[in-house]
Structure formats: structure tokens, C-alpha cells
Structure 1
Amino acid sequence: MSLPLTLHPDRLFPADEASRAVARALYAEVKDLPIVSPHGHTDPRWYAENEPFPDPATLFIVPDHYVFRMLYSQGVALEDLGVPRRDGGPTEQDSRKIWRIFAANQHLFRGTPSAMWLAHAFHEVFGVRERLDADNADRIYDQIDAQLKLPEFRPRALFERFNIEVIATTESPLDELKWHKQIKTSGWQGRVLTAYRPDPVVDPEFPGFAENLVELGRITGEDTTSWRGYLAALETRRAYFREHGGCTSTDHGHPTATTADLSPKVASDLFDKVRSGSFTAHEAELFRGQMLTEMARMSIEDGLVMQIHPGSFRNHNPGLLAKFGRDKGADIPTATNYVHALKPLLDRFGNETRLSIILFTLDETSYSRELAPLAGHYPSLKIGPAWWFYDSPEGMRRYRELVTETAGFYNTVGFNDDTRAFLSIPARHDVARRIDCGYLGRLVAEHRLDLDEAQAVARDLAHGLAKKAYKL
């Protein structure tokens, strides 16, 4: 017999009664605030076409690297989970079989954020009231599958049900923004924006970089064989993203936070080398660093908020990369140096009040040592929320403890969910609001913050800071 699935109303609140009572009261004031999701990876096609999601496995398992990386770590083949292969080779096509594997391995997720997000989606979105396991896998599959066929479970209806005020997707600069244009002309009032992710045309080590430069030149009419023409093409695409996708931010997923400020002649010579394909790893890193500084200059000119997401050794598993491609759960955090790496950019633009750079990290040791002091000084810098591997209760708690005393709350930018898993968005925001209210509750209980101050901060962390930081 299956066990009941319940969500405790005080989950994630502090254990001591004084802090918990304040947290509970603060959470009651912010739990229903609209969701601002300024950075993520949901598919704009969902909102443009508004077609039903295919089935539970395709929704919850196949696209979610948080889910399938855990199963893979325990020996489950990605082919058996329906993850597409690059060569079009055989993978499991029976969604019910995929779901059964997932259901039989629920114990693997105990204590993880994925378990909380999934429980929230099952319970709150689909009304599931028993824990998923091997015995009830088919029954819960059928319950969810039947609801996915209803109009109220289509993407736009769920967008409205989740109380999403605005959501930003992330696109390559080569993207024509077809789906964003379709959303704008559809008459639907949901606000879906794009974010400009130039990695395919600024990272010499990105697959297809040379071909991408040719395509960039074709779609902009600029000469991308020259340094000046290349920069002009990037500026043209930024303008295109603002006009056709409502873009307010850029996003840079570089391996490190390295920046550079080369002379035009040296930068032009370096561009010629990376364009030719004859470059060293050091030169590729130097070029990426120069492009962060160029993007900062462009942001001062056009007002786009700049996000830097460094510190991931992406696609660490070459066998998996060869068979399944990028973003398959094999990205691993690395140590990141911000104080020295950002200095060339900050020497040039750090005091610019027209520039807004949001810094993220997968290196928690840098929060109190580097990021909080930097953001607590430079007017151009803000600290992004706990991200990716640390988008978790303990990661969020550590984040608040490590940055607040030096940077305060207002040099941070609230929360963003950074997800491909649409149904996890309300769950992730709920976790963040609960953790933040718990942290504030402790400060009130320790008489370090007055209740009215905590109420104002809770609202800002849940809604206002993200809206302001991303110019939404």
C-alpha cells in the first residue's frame, strides 16, 4: 500500500518556535506574490503554440538533467530514459516504461531539491495524494496524463495559474525569435521575454564557432571577418533581441570570470587568430575575457543588464557529450577567482552607474571572500542568487549567511529559477520564499531586525528586487 504524499505547512521554516512563528507570518504575506522569473530555459514554443504537454515522462524526466543525472549516476542508461541521441540511434520511446523506471527509483532523490520540486508539482498541480513508487506508477501516470489533456493544463493556462508576472527564456544570438514574435502577435497577455546568450559567437571553443560567425554576418549584413564588423554585428543582434523579444538582459556562461581590456589593435589581431581556428587555449580564454568587457561597454550603451555565470566545467563526460550532446547533467563546479579576474573590466567600467552586472557562482567559498565585498563596493555589481547546484535549501541558507553582512540585501537580486522544467517554477520560488522568510525570522527573533523591516525585505526578496534588477 502506497504512503500518503503531504506537504507540511511549516516545511523549511526554522526549528525554534520564535523564529518559526515570525517566518510563518512573513511567508503568509509573500507566498501569493506574482512570480518574476527573469532568467531560465523554458521553451518559448510552449507559450507560442500552447499545445498540450505530451505525457508525464516527456514532461518530468526526458528534458530534466536534474532528474536523469541522478538516475544515470546509479547506472540507469540515458537511452532507457528516452534521452535523444545525437546520431538518432535507438532510445526508449514508451513513456510509460520510462515513468516506471523513474517511479521505482524515487528513493534516490531523498533529501534532494528535486524531491521537493517533484512533490510540490505532483501535489499542488496534479492533486496526487500518494507517494510515487513502483506499485502505483501506472495509476499516477494515468492520473497526470489525463489532466495533461485538459485545456487548463496547457502552457498558457498553467502560466496564469502559477501567477507568473513575467518569464525570460534564453536564446542564441543566431535565433530568429520566431516563437517570441508569435507570442507577441497572438493576443495572449502573458509576458514572455528573451535573454541574449552570445556564447555561440563569442567563445572560440564553442562547437561550430567559425560557422556561427559566418551566419552572424549573413543575418546582420555586417562583415564578421573584421573586428569592427564583428562588434557591429553583435550590437545589431542585441537591438534585434530588444525589439523582437523584449530583451532586458544578456547572459554569459563562460568557464571562468576572466576579463581583459586589450587595445583595439591587439583585440583585432586576437580576433583574426580565433576566427582562423589557429589559437591556443590561453588565447581562447583571453578572447572570451575581452568579449565580457566589450559586452559591458555595449550594456552601458543599450541598457541591457549583464549576467555572468562562470565556474562550470561543462560537459565533463566526453563519452556522454559525444553520444547525447551538451547539457546532459555532466557539468561540474570549479573554483573561480573574481577579485583578479574581473579587475580589467572593473578598472574600466566598475564605477559606471549605467552598468548593471549580476554575478553568479558555483564556488561558494567566493561569496564572503570576494563577491560580497565586490558588490558591497562597486555600483555596477550585484550578486545573483544561489544557482544550479546550490538552488537548494542549504545552499540558499548559506548564501544569505555569507553575503548579507557585507553586501546587505539590496546588492542582491531576489531569486530566479534558471530552469527548463516548467512545472518546477512555482515549487522553486516557494522554496526560496520559505528559506528567506526563515532567515529573516531568525534575525527578528534575535532582535537584529525589526518586524516591519523584515516584512519589507521579504516582499523585496520575493518580488521587487528581481523586477528592479532586470528592469522589468
Structure 2
Amino acid sequence: MTRPLTLNPDRLFPAEPATRAVAQRLYAQVEDLPIISPHGHTDPEWFASDAPFANATELLLAPDHYLYRMLYSQGVALEDLGVPSRKGPSGADPRAAWRILAANMHLFRGTPSSMWLDHVFAEVFGFDVRLSAETADLYFDRIGEALATPAFRPRALFERFNIELLATTEAPTDPLKHHKAMRASGWKGRVVTAYRPDPVLDPEHEDFTAEIERFGEISGEDVQSWAGYLAAHRVRRQAFMEMGATSTDHGHPTAQTADLSEAEAEDLFRKVLGGTFTPAEAELFRAQMLTEMAKMSLDDGLVMQIHPGSFRNHNRGLHGAFGRDKGADIPTRTDYVRALKPLLDRFGNDRRLSIIVFTLDESVYARELAPLAGHYPVLKLGPAWWFHDSPEGMRRFREQTTETAGFYNTVGFNDDTRAFLSIPARHDVARRVDASFLAKLVAEHRLDEDDAAETIVDLAYNLPKRAYKLDEPAAERTPELV
């Protein structure tokens, strides 16, 4: 039996009528604002080639670990879902994979994935019946027909979604050929890159040795020496900035930082290159490199993003067969007060530096992160992230950080997604949640409605642009460069 698909216009708004009315008015201020997406993982090749997406599975299921991790938890093999493995592209039949998702949509009840998918199905593709086992083929065929038309090519969708800026994330060894191709094509869509040096900063990364070799080749520097290794980072950061980068991104296991002497750092680097390091020394090297990245940001103006606290690739067998980022990353307890202190002792009062800190450990919002960001000029709080990129997670973030850090020590919202079509849905959820949170403050006479209206525009649009220096001329983003 098919069921209708409708999006209630008051979804996520307060149930109490007077407060809901305030939320409606606040949401109207931001509903149609352009999307600023300053941190994400969409594939730049999509926009460089502007080739049609092949089918619903390739576009919506195979790249989205929110979806296939849930299916995997219920015993569905990734091989059957179109997910590529270390051996290469999946051999699964795309229609059969889509039918598996459709038959299991009940698993996503109450999850943000359900809200995002319904938004995509209704708003992007115009469906008015729900995805289910009965409608699986209807969906697969209609989506396939749409994807074959010019209106559903990547660039057309980018413009339809009213995306003002989209940042992808690449490793230092990436030649950035897709970003260069976009520039050469004359397309006006603003897609920039972000510098993600983890593979050449983390001695425990499985590709570290090979990536270091490639790092030297692409930078033209002697990365076997400490001075040459640091010079290689500077070279590649500049190359990324030429492709529009305004930020770096660091996905370390912890937020630990260090401030070693030059001799200590050089000695540690030799151990790392020689493969004679202990786990504690690997952690110390990552910690030192956050401080080194901060030093470089003082020179070139790139904003630092620190995304710590994930035990990545927890499922060893799955990692061996399918590689990284396959839904097996698990949040861990994370310290910030002591971990960030070496870096903050060195640079915490230097207003030229900007560091955006994220967490997967919600217990630190009120105890650590809000007080830190509410004091240090260099720190801003990134939005609720990954497992907490949900209505409840966003509410908890606002409830636990606003009293101490305020709204203006946060950076608005970023979607951090590989699933391109979910970007408008995710930003819509964030805007609705912020409208609801602000409406509650207005209803309790803690905030005037005109102040709330100004704040929600800042949260949706102005704060991310400011935090990521998206409107600053290059000369202003590189204070020490001549």
C-alpha cells in the first residue's frame, strides 16, 4: 500500500501556537537565503565534468554512509548496496540495491536521514508518495529519467539549490585538477577547496609513507628533512589558496596540541619518518603539527578547523575490505581544556588567528568548549556535527553553549556531507531549529523579536561567511605575506 509524501510547513517548529507563530516569522527571514557550505566532502569532479549522475543508487545511496551504516547494522552487506570497495566499483545491480533501501525505509524513522531524504524526494524530484518496497521501481525510474535531463546535472542543481559557495576537502597530495578544470571552464559557480593534511600528518595513517613520498613530489621540497617538510606544507597551502581555499581541516583522534622546541620537533620527525615511533610519539607528532599549522595560518590567513574525537575505522574487517569512511567511525570522549592549552598558550590571544573547534563529545559543550570560546579571541565553536547533525543535536548545542559563548562565538551551520542533494535539506533543518530556539527566547521575553530576526540571518548567512573569511580580499586573508 502506497502512502502519501507531504512536508508539513511547520515541521520542527514548537507545538505551542504562539511560539510557533514567532518561529514561522523568524524562519521566513532565512528560508530563501543563499546557502553557504564552507565545509563538505562532495566530489569536485561532479562540477568539473558536469556529467549526468547515473542513477538513484549512485547519487543517493552509495555515497551516503548515514544510509548504508544503518542498513549494515541490520545485516545488509555493503556489497549489495553499490558501495565501492578497495577492489574498485561495486558490482551490485543499482536497481536491486535501491530496492533494498526502499524495503527498509522503516529503519530510518525518527532519524535525520529520513527528514533529509523526504525533502530531496518531495522538493527536488516532486514525489507525492513515500519510498517503499511498492514504490521502489517508480522512484528508481523517475529519478533516472530526471537525471538524464540538463536540469539535473551537477551545475544546474548547484544553481537551483541557491548555493553561493561550496567547499570540498582535499589532501595535500591532490593535484586539484578538478578545481583547475572548473576555473578554466568559465563556470560562475563558486566551488573552493580546503586543505586536509591528515594523510601526511598522521604517522598511523595506513598510507602515511606513500603519501609522504607523493607530498615531496608534488611540492618539489625535500620532505625527508624537517625544514623541507614544513616548506612543503607552505607550498601546498598556497596552491590550495589559489583554488579558493580559506580553511584547513584536521580530523585528529584527539584535540591534543604541543609546543616542542625546534630540536625536539626535528628529532620526533626523524622517528616518524623512520617508522620507529610509539603510539604516544605518533600522538605527540599530531599534536605538534596542529601548532605548526597554527603558525602557518598566522602567515597565510587560512582558518583552522579541528574535528577531533572520532575513533575512525573501528570495524577492522570492513576497513580492510572497503577502506576509510564506510560508516564505522565512532565518537570518543574528548578533552579540550588541557589538550588545547599548549597551542593557546602560544597563540590564544593573537586575533590574526581563527580556529573553529568541533566535537562529537556533547558532554564538553557547557563544561569546556563554550567557556573556552567565550574567552579566547582565536576560538569559535563549529556547529553540531556528524552524529549530532540532527534536530535534537542542534537544539542541545544551542541550549548548552549559548549562555556562555553567545551566538557570535559560533559559526552558523555547515553540512559536512558527501550527499550533494541533501545540502538544501540539511540547511533547512538548521534554519528551522534555530528559528524554534530563538522563538522560545522571544516567547519567554528573554530576547526581542527584532533582535531574534537579526540573529537568525547572522546564523544562517553572515556568521559562516565571516568565520571562513569568504568575503575578504586575499591580501586581507594573508596578513604576513608580501
TM range (shorter): over 0.9
- Letter of the aligned partner of 2:112 in structure 1? P
Q: Distance in 1 between matches of 2:87 and 2:144?
A: 29
CA contact (8 A) 1:27 1:437 kept: yes
Name the residue aligned to 2:222.
223
Q: Distance in 1 between matches of 2:194 and 2:87?
A: 30
Name the residue aligned to 1:438.
436
Q: Distance in 1 between matches of 2:122 and 2:387?
A: 24
Name the residue aligned to 1:304.
302
SS in 2 for 1:412: coil
Q: Distance in 2 between matches of 1:45 and 1:87?
A: 21
TM-superposed CA distance for 1:302, in Å, is 0.4
Bigger mean CA offset, 177-186 vs 424-433: 177-186
Are 2:66 and 1:48 aligned?
Answer: no
Name the residue aligned to 1:207.
206
Name the residue aligned to 2:461.
463
Bigger mean CA offset, 68-77 vs 132-141: 132-141
Are 2:147 and 1:148 aligned?
Answer: yes
Q: Distance in 1 between matches of 2:405 and 2:88?
A: 49
Q: Distance in 2 between matches of 1:6 and 1:434?
A: 17
Query: Which consecutive aligned stretches of 4+ in structure 1 deviate over 3 angstroms post-superposition?
Result: none
Task: State the Cα RMSD in Å.
Answer: 0.8
Q: Distance in 2 between matches of 1:87 and 1:120?
A: 34
- Letter of the aligned partner of 1:239 in structure 2? Q
Name the residue aligned to 2:127.
128
Deviations 1:362-408 (A, max 9, x none): 00000100000000000000000000000000000000000000000
Deviations 1:7-28 (A, max 9, x none): 0000000111121110000101
Deviations 1:75-98 (A, max 9, x none): 001111121221349x54311101
- Letter of the aligned partner of 1:361 in structure 2? T
SS in 2 for 1:307: strand
Structure 1 segment 142-291 matched on structure 2, within 5 A: 142-243=141-242, 245-291=243-289
CA contact (8 A) 2:79 2:92 kept: no
Q: Distance in 2 between matches of 1:277 and 1:466?
A: 40
Name the residue aligned to 2:57.
57
Name the residue aligned to 1:78.
78
Name the residue aligned to 2:391.
393
Name the residue aligned to 1:314.
312
Name the residue aligned to 1:2.
2
TM-superposed CA distance for 1:214, in Å, is 1.8
CA contact (8 A) 2:112 2:391 kept: yes
Bigger mean CA offset, 76-85 vs 277-286: 76-85
CA contact (8 A) 1:103 1:133 kept: yes
Are 2:28 and 1:28 aligned?
Answer: yes
Q: Distance in 1 between matches of 2:408 and 2:63?
A: 34
Out of 395, 411, 427, the residue aligned to residue 413 of structure 1 is 411
Bigger mean CA offset, 91-100 vs 68-77: 91-100
TM-superposed CA distance for 1:211, in Å, is 2.0
Q: Distance in 2 between matches of 1:188 and 1:151?
A: 15
Q: Distance in 2 between matches of 1:302 and 1:370?
A: 29
Q: Distance in 1 between matches of 2:220 and 2:141?
A: 52
Deviations 1:20-53 (A, max 9, x none): 1100001011100000000000000000100111
Q: Distance in 2 between matches of 1:276 and 1:361?
A: 32
- Letter of the aligned partner of 2:266 in structure 1? S
Deviations 1:410-454 (A, max 9, x none): 000000000000000000000000000000000000000001100
Q: Distance in 2 between matches of 1:307 and 1:88?
A: 31
Bigger mean CA offset, 208-217 vs 75-84: 208-217
Name the residue aligned to 2:374.
376
- Letter of the aligned partner of 2:6 in structure 1? T
- Letter of the aligned partner of 2:460 in structure 1? A
TM-superposed CA distance for 1:215, in Å, is 1.6
CA contact (8 A) 1:46 1:155 kept: yes
CA contact (8 A) 1:256 1:311 kept: yes
Bigger mean CA offset, 213-222 vs 287-296: 213-222
Q: Distance in 2 between matches of 1:356 and 1:85?
A: 37
Residue-pair matches, total? 470
- Letter of the aligned partner of 1:45 in structure 2? E
SS in 1 for 2:362: coil
Deviations 1:287-332 (A, max 9, x none): 0000000000100110000000000000000000001110000000
Q: Distance in 2 between matches of 1:35 and 1:471?
A: 15
Are 2:3 and 1:39 aligned?
Answer: no
Gaps of 5+ in 2: 471-482
Q: Distance in 2 between matches of 1:3 and 1:220?
A: 56
SS in 2 for 1:365: helix
What fraction of aligned residue pairs are identical, expressed as a percent? 69
CA contact (8 A) 1:81 1:92 kept: no
- Letter of the aligned partner of 2:406 in structure 1? G
CA contact (8 A) 1:92 1:98 kept: no
TM-superposed CA distance for 1:145, in Å, is 0.9
SS in 2 for 1:435: helix
SS in 2 for 1:167: strand
Q: Distance in 1 between matches of 2:91 and 2:44?
A: 26
